[in-house]
């Protein structure tokens, strides 16, 4: 009974609002009942968006990858691969970390970027798909950080 009620509530959230954003963290997209609700809403409501934060990178032949490559409103963020706007790519910082951005990027993004000028692309790992880093990120933006 509670499971049916939760599915109903999720369905209403995704279909009754034209501008809903659903964030998932730790969801493997292995439950077709939930997937059906989510993907139907993405197909019928172009302003509904899904941001799927993944612990592992989505594989090329994964169903989530295939769906994200066909949809502008489905964003998938893995540690080194992201699919945004129907395009799959690797994480790369545009500019090095400096004093202004270091605190903002420390938790969500682990990078080789340093303040010195670099000639090679700045690579790294997006870490928010790991519950530990996600919890630290939430604690940091909530003003925590004191042990």
Residue by residue, what is the 3-state secondary structure of the chain? CHHHHHHHHHHHHHHHCCCCEEEEECCCCCCHHHHHHHHHHHHHCCCCEEEEECCCCCCCCCHHHHHHHHCCCEEEECCCEEEECCEEEECCECCCCCCCCHHHHCCCEEECCCCCCCCCCECEEECCCCHHHHHHHHHHHCCCCCC
| CA 130 to the chain's CA centroid | 11
Residue carrying structure tokens 């172009």? 46
Residue 28 confidence class, pLDDT cut points 50, 70, 90 = very high
Q: What is the maximal distance between C-alpha atoms in the chain?
A: 58
Tens of pLDDT, residues 79-99: 999 999 999 998 876 665 555
Question: 32-91: per-residue pLDDT in tens?
Answer: 999 999 999 999 998 999 999 999 999 999 999 999 999 999 999 999 999 999 999 988
Rg (CA), the chain: 17
């Amino acid at each position: 009974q509670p499971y049916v009620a939760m599915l109903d509530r999720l369905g209403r959230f995704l279909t009754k609002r034209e501008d809903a954003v659903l964030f998932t963290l730790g969801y493997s997209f292995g439950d077709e009942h939930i997937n059906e609700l989510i993907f139907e809403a993405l197909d019928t409501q172009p302003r509904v968006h899904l941001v799927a934060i993944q612990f592992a990178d989505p594989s090329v032949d994964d169903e989530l990858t295939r769906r994200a490559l066909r949809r502008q409103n489905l964003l998938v963020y893995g540690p080194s691969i992201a699919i945004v706007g129907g395009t799959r790519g690797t994480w790369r910082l545009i500019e090095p970390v400096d004093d202004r951005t270091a605190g903002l990027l420390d938790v969500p993004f682990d990078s080789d970027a340093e303040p010195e000028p670099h000639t090679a692309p700045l690579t790294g790992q997006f870490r928010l798909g790991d519950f530990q880093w996600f919890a630290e990120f939430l604690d940091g933006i909530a003003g925590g950080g004191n042990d």
